[in-house]
Structure 1
Amino acid sequence: MPRSRRSRAAEAVAAVLLLALGTACGSRLPKSDFEDRGASSPSRAAEPIRVGIITSATSPVGGSAFTGPRDGAEAYFDRLNARGGVAGRPVEVRLCDDGGSGVGNNTCVHRLVEEDEVVALVATTALDYAGASRVARAGVPDIGGQPIGAAYDTWPHLYGIYGSLAPREGTTGWDGRQYGGTEVYRYFKREHGARTAAVVSYNQAASAAYASLVEQGLKAEGYKVITEQVDFALPNFRAVAADLKDQGADLVFDAIDTHGNARLCEAMDDAGVEVTAKVTNVQNWTSTVAEDYRDAPRCRNALWATASSRNHEDTDHEAVREFRDATKGLKTHSQWQLEGWAAAMWFTDAARSCPEGDVTRACVDAFMNRGEDYTADGLLVPVRFERLAQPPATRHSCLSAARWEDGRGWVSQGDMDTTCFDVPQLPYQP
């Protein structure tokens, strides 16, 4: 198989996993969050607090696909250290690129957890989190990782950025099944009157499986659903676009990679397809839309993204302004960078809960297990970790939504603190 084809295959699988697993009043901290809140004991005063960040930076998906959370977390710790660290102790970040492989991931876990003896992992973004069980056995808290796989709903001491209610005792979800809500579909139905939705997928197992999950959620919300599947090697997006126009789709969801999305948008523009929203996911909520979709201006300006975190361009919000100021040197900005920043903040608040600056794995883990909502200074919808014996039938879920507009970028649509719905939780196999 040519290398470009392998890369696209990996990207498609990764995108599907992210879509499937990425949708699931805590502290409200001022700028003084970055300042020293208490003296440490003399023996600890100069000793750094060591944390690890595992990223699939050189994975088959591409060099920049998974680096956003790492960049956001590093920016937070840089600013934190410039303002005194935690109780006078700087945070020392140890990075490890696992190459997107299970072998590489286990190597990173061994190096960071067993050799470097980090207090915690932060903002993990791993294509294959093969070392998750080793992290759990070592009792190392992993805070704010991106749930690309099922690890964060399987193992104790792992705390994904979107929270979890699963038992997490070594079995995924509840008896191997995870649950997701229908809030995104409810939102477009109630707020924008959408009634007909299309789901576009590849004839590839992971893509088809996620498309089936989206179809299930849409039908639960009363949509007429149009299913479109294309050949992965030779996708005929023109035929898809023609059918979307004929059937009058209001929304288009997908289980395909970024390259495929761009080609689909081009075909939709050529066919004159006009939709209420072409809905993408948090991984594609980036500042590179104008370039990625440069040949599809109509579809580009119908792009929407939804997530469980505040729009990284919403600079009217103080915490977002702080993030943007600290990351102004980056060439691009993304939602994943903001979520990595939030993960680093989460670890910092956990570290500050430890008495006299004595930051230990156990102390940080206890903070994460409080069973209380956390919002990272308003950057996240309320997130919590509990261990429920049975999955909830319904859940009160909030979401953040934004639409791309040329000349303005990602424009927030409503307030994520009040865009909330009581929705059913539907089972799926990860």
Structure 2
Amino acid sequence: MRARSLVVIAALSVFALSACGSRVNDSGTPSGSPTQGGGVNTASDTGVTANDIKIGVIVGLTSPLGPETFSGSLYGAKAYFDALNAAGGVNGRKVTVVQCDDHGSGPDNSACVRKLVDDEKVFALAGVSAFDYAGAPYLNSKGVPDVGGQPTSNAYDQYPHLYSIYGSYYPRDGKRAGYDGKLYAGTENYRWLKDNLSTRVAGVVYYNVAPSQRYAQSVADGLRHEGYTVVEKEINYFAPNFDAAVLDMKARGADVIFDAMEDNGNLSLCKSMQAQGLTVKAKVTTSQGWTDTFGKTFADTPGCRNTTYAISTTRNYNDTNYPAVARFRADMAKYQPAREGKLSIWTLEGYASALWLTDAMKSCDADLTRVCVEKYLNRPQDYNGDDLLTARNFTKLATPPDSDTNCINVAKWEDSAGGGKGGWATRVTDMNTNCFTVPNLPYPAE
């Protein structure tokens, strides 16, 4: 189980009535209902009534990086909860989703957290993707669990009430992120590419800004550990010269390209690769780039587009031969039809986030409390989200392991996929058997 996903941070989830003795509120709804386990629902915790559970979602719908960059998880979570409510809810309680747009801003994120915690009094959060999770310390101080969020900042590696979609073995003691300010990542991505595509010389392109530099350094270190020759190319964010970087990588025989940049930088890089005649075996994007809209965004760079690979620890949302993926697609089509053609791995992970929180809530039966939910989350058993995710948990380790066995899913963009519309085609037999025992390499959290 990997400690966290390496994500580029550049610029960067039926009501039975009691036969007798139920009290009824002013609206005529029963205030106590028998549950699947035989108990009677009560207002058992903040954000929980006999008939309702209030769940918050924070995303950046109006982020400066665009409306799609930090919003996909919201639509997945909402589709799951809508389907859940249609099937009867959680032990007789329906889920009410309260969303907040933090605009990709730290101060607005803090305002969202306080709105959801203090004003809306939500029980928990799900489907969060916050670019700057400035409100995390306050959320954590109030003991509100955030389940299955996207770790686009270090908050999920630091606070005990925050649970990343990728699982974690970090101490998460509220002090420094990771182990004394160091995070760890395996080299499984690079080994897969080496073993399956025979890549040997890797270009790593990044901006001269700290988050991009840190990510790029961790990639370069992992590549070198796997025996690659690495060509590192720093791009001036304010005066980029991609052609010079591309020409140097071409001259030095780069056959795989990694980057630590957002979509605009990626597109500029691909245009330069096309113009300068740099062809590679693989151009590797992060899971954040695994989207339906990838083909349209890179329409003018066919060579780069059709050599792009994405690597994740989640099922490909196009693989409907897996029942849980088929349910996801059906729920999205029914409850979020406007997202057709705009799906992403983050959308599926938002759906899995809501599923994870729901499974934890169902384990509590009538006595739904945050303590009960977190007991479920912190149990030593692995969780796989009904086979949407590779196995993961939140068992804390006192020290980082020297090595770990990590399983990954790999997909490649193909113009011929999706009935000729283009799409992501899975390139491994099964992510649960595509596993590698690799070293854990440190990199700085800040």
Give the alignment's TM-score, normalised by structure 1: 0.89
Is 1:231 aligned to 2:236, yes or no? yes
**Could you tell me which residue of structure 1 aligns to residue 393 of structure 2?**
384
C-alpha deviations, 1:242-262, integer Å up to 9, x for none? 223222212100011111111
1:121-160 alpha-carbon deviations (Å, 9 max, x no partner): 1121111111112222211111000001111111111100
Number of residue-to-residue matches in the alignment? 400
The question of 1:19 aligning with 2:11 is answered no
Q: Is residue 209 of structure 1 aligned with residue 214 of structure 2?
A: yes
1:13-162 pair list within 5 angstroms = 18-19=7-8, 38=37, 41=40, 43=42, 47-162=51-166
1:167-210: CA deviations, max 9, x gaps?
11112111111111111111111222111111011222322222
The aligned counterpart of 2:351 is 341
What amino acid is the match of 1:285? Answer: W
In structure 2, what is the equivalent of residue 416 of structure 1?
431
> Is residue 17–residue 149 contact of structure 1 (8 Å, CA) maintained in 2?
no
> Alignment identity in percent?
46
Once residues 118 and 305 of structure 1 are traced to their aligned partners in structure 2, the CA distance between those partners, rounded to angstroms, is 35
1:173 equivalenced with 2:178 (yes/no)? yes
Q: Which of 365, 370, 375 is residue 366 of structure 1 equivalent to?
A: 375
Is contact 2:214-2:443 (8 Å) kept? no
1:358 partner SS: coil
Kept in 2, the 8 Å contact 1:37–1:86? The answer is: no
What SS does the corresponding residue of 2:88 show, helix, strand or coil? coil
Shift of 1:373: 0.7
TM-score, normalization by structure 2: 0.86
- Give the whole-Å Cα distance in 1 for the aligned partners of 2:431 and 2:372: 31
Distance in 1 of aligned mates of 2:98 and 2:199: 47
Q: Deviations over 1:212-243 (max 9, x none)?
A: 11111111111011111222223222222222
Partner residue, 2:15: none
Match in the other structure for 1:8: none
- Following superposition, the deviation at residue 43 of structure 1 comes to 4.8
Gaps of 5+ in 2: 11-34, 44-48, 418-422
Question: Quick check: 1:426 aligned with 2:444?
Answer: no
1:351 aligns to 2:361 (yes or no) = yes
Report the CA distance between 1:20 and its aligned residue. Answer: 7.0
Q: 1:340-380, CA deviations, whole angstroms, 9 ceiling, x for partnerless residues?
A: 0000000110010003x332111111110112210101111
Alignment RMSD (CA, Å): 1.8
Using the alignment, how far apart are the partners of 2:39 and 2:290 within structure 1?
A: 40
Unaligned 5+ segments in structure 1 are 1-15, 22-35
- Of 304, 311, 315, the residue aligned with 1:299 is 304
Please state if 1:257 is matched with 2:259.
no
The letter of the residue matching 1:65 is: T
Contact map agreement 1:40 1:88 (CA 8 A) in 2: no
Contact 2:317 2:345 in 1 (8 A): yes
Shift of 1:87: 1.3
SS at match of 1:18: coil
Q: Relative to 1, partners in 2 of residues 1:79 and 1:117: Cα closer, same or farther, differing over 3 Å?
A: same
Question: Any idea what the Cα deviations from partners look like across 1:21-57, whole Å, max 9, x if unmatched?
Answer: 9xxxxxxxxxxxxxx9556516579521111111122
**Larger proportion of helix:** 1
Deviation at 1:68, TM superposition (A): 0.3
User: Pick from 218, 238, 243: which aligns with 2:248?
Assistant: 243
